A and B are shown apart, each in its own frame.
Chain A
Amino acid sequence: MNTFSFDGLAIEALGVTARSASDWLTGPTVERGGTPLLGRHGIVPSTARRGAVRRMVLGLTVPVPSLAARATTLRAVRDAIIGGARRVRSADAPGRFIVCDVRGWEVEPIAQRSFTEQTRAAVVNVALYDHFGVSFADEPRVLVLSTTPTALRLGTAVSTGIVYLSGTWAEGASRTLTYRSNAGITYGEMTLTAPTGSGGLGTNDVLEIDLHRQYITKVASSGARTDAAAWRASGAWFGFDPADGDALADRWPTLALSTGAGVVIYREAFEE
C-alpha cells in the first residue's frame, strides 16, 4: 500500500499504515466544454473546466497499545489528519499534491472485529474531498519572457499563472502577450495599453497580470498597488493547455511578449 502524507507529515510518522484507498487512482470527473468549428475538423476546447467534488476514502490501520489507550491514540492521529484544505501526497505521485478537505473520521466498531485484534489496531476510514480535481506540482516554475516564444512545460491539466511586466511604458503604448501552441498557432492574445491618466509604467514599476484570478494590478516602485483592469485593451483571458503541446515529445506551448521585460510564474497541474 502506498504511503500517504498530510501537510507533509507521513502517516508512518504517526505509526499508522494505509490499508485501502478507494477511488484514489480513478481520477476526477472533469467536464470541459468545446465548440465545433463549421467546415473544419475537431472542436475548440474550452479553457474552463468543471469538475465534481471528488471523494476518496482512505483506510488506515492505527496501532493501539491497549484498549485504555485507544481513545487517546486515535485522537492524536485524528488531530494530525483531519482538517480543511490539507495537502495530501501519495508515493505513487512524487513531487505532487492534491488539496483535500479531510472531514470524515469513521472508526470501525470493536464489535465488527475480534476484541484481541481491536486492542492492537483500530481501523479508521477517512474521507477526502478534493475540490480542485487536479494535483499540483510541489514547485512552481518561473520563466523569463521575451519576443522569442518561451516554452511552458506543463502537466496534464490546464494551468494559469502570473505574468509580471516591467520596463518604462508610456501612456497609450501597447504590449501584447501571445500564447501559442507548439505548432506556432496563436490560441491566446492579450493586448495591454496604458490608459491616458494612468501614468503608464515607470522605470521600476511592475504590471502584474494574474491569469487565474483575472486581476491586473499596477505595482509602483513604492509598493503601492492600483487596479489596472482598464489596461486590458483586447483579447480574452487564457490558460496554458497541455493539449496545445506534445507532452510525450517534450514539446510545449509558448508564451511571448511583444516588447519590454516580463516573467511568468506558474505551477504545473495534473488531471490524475
Chain B
Amino acid sequence: MSLAPQFGAPMGAPNLSVLSRALLDFDAADLVWSPDTGAIVDASGHEGTFTRGATLASVLDANGATYTAQHAQIAFEQRTMNGVEALCVRMGTADRFVFPTNVRPQAMCGLVEIVETGARTSANATLFALRNDAASGAGVWLDTSGTYYRFNYSDGSTTRTATLTSGQPVSGNAVQFVWDITDLGVLTLRQYINAGAPTSATAAALALPGSWASGAAWRINRRGSSANPAQGAFRRARVLAGPLDFDRLLARR
C-alpha cells in the first residue's frame, strides 16, 4: 500500500518523504505501507501495525456503496465531515493501530477527529491512547464513561480524568476532540460536534512523571493490546509538543 502523494501522477520524480514534525500524525489520507519493513508508516514517521483479524462490513465508498474489508485490509471509508468529503479509516471493535514511540512526558496537545459510529455509549471504549500493552502505568487516553467522552492522564499511581458534562455525539456526527496537558500537569478536553461550539472539561494538576510506562505506544481505537476497544471512522489523530496551538492542530497538513 502506498498512500498519496506517493500515488498520483506517475512521474519520474523522487519519492519524497513527507514527514510531519508532530509527536504523532495519524492521518487516514497519509498512511503508507513500507515495502522494506511491511509496516504501516504514519505521517510523522512512526512504523506501526494494523490488525483486525476479522472482516468489517458496510464500509462506505465515495458513492455511498458499501464493501466488506477483509481481515488485514484497512477499511478506507469516505465520509462527509462538516460539509467536506473526507477519507477516514473505519474501525470496528476488532480494529487497532499501534505505533511504538519513545516520546517523553511533556506539555503537549492533541486532536482526535472521528465520525461517531456508536462508541460513546460503550463505557471505557477507548478511541486513542498512549499506554502500554497492559494498559497500566503512566499514560494518557481518551475514552467514554458510557454517557460522555473523557480524557484521562495517569502518572502511574494517580489518575486524573476530565469528563465532559454536556455534548453527546450520535452516529454520523463529526466529532473533534482537542486536549492538552500543561507543564504543570493540568488536563483539559474540548469536544466539537459538527463544528459547533465546544464543550470542555478540566482536571486538577498532577505533576508529569519522569517517563511514560515502559512499552507505552500510540494506540488508535484501543487502550492496551486488547483492553477497551472502541469504534469509529477515524480521520486524524495528532499530538503536538508544547502548549495548546489550535492553528497547528486543526490545520490540514
Contacts and interface: CB of A to CB of B under 8 A. Distances in A.
A118 interface: no
Interface string A142-158: 11100000100100011
Interface in A19-62: 47-51
A144 B4 contact: no
Q: Which of B3, B5, B18 has the most A CB atoms < 10 Å from its CB? A: B5
A239 B10 contact: yes
B4 A136 contact: yes
Contacts of A166: 68, 70, 73
Interface residues of A, number: 62
B19 interface: yes
Give the secondary structure class of B's interface: loop
B4 A204 contact: no
Contacts of B87: 139-142, 265
Given A99-B16, A162-B1, A210-B7, 19 more contacts: A5-B251, A8-B248, A9-B247, A13-B248, A48-B12, A140-B76, A142-B78, A144-B65, A150-B63, A158-B9, A159-B8, A212-B8, A221-B53, A221-B71, A222-B72, A223-B50, A223-B51, A223-B72, A265-B87
A138 interface: yes
Interface of A: 5, 7-10, 13, 47-51, 84-85, 87, 89, 97, 99, 101, 131-134, 136, 138-144, 150, 153, 157-162, 164, 166, 204-206, 208, 210-213, 215, 219-223, 225, 239, 261, 263, 265-267, 269
A8 B7 contact: no
B197 interface: no
A161 B38 contact: no
Contacts of B6: 212-213
Given A134-B9, A267-B4, A143 B16 contact: no
Contact of A142 (B53, B77, B253): B77
B107 interface: no
B7 A162 contact: yes
B68 A261 contact: yes
Interface residues of B, number: 51
Given A142-B61, A166-B70, A225 B7 contact: no
B66 interface: yes
A204 B55 contact: yes
Contacts of B62: 141-143, 153
A206 B13 contact: no
A112 to B, nearest CB: 32
Contact of A267 (B8, B17, B50, B51): B8
Contact of A47 (B8, B10, B252): B10
B247 A213 contact: no
Nearest to A219: B72
Nearest to A214: B10
B76 A210 contact: no
27 contacts: A7-B20, A7-B253, A48-B10, A50-B12, A84-B16, A85-B17, A87-B18, A87-B253, A99-B5, A131-B16, A134-B8, A136-B8, A139-B84, A140-B76, A142-B77, A143-B61, A159-B8, A160-B9, A206-B72, A208-B1, A211-B7, A219-B72, A223-B49, A225-B38, A239-B9, A265-B76, A267-B8
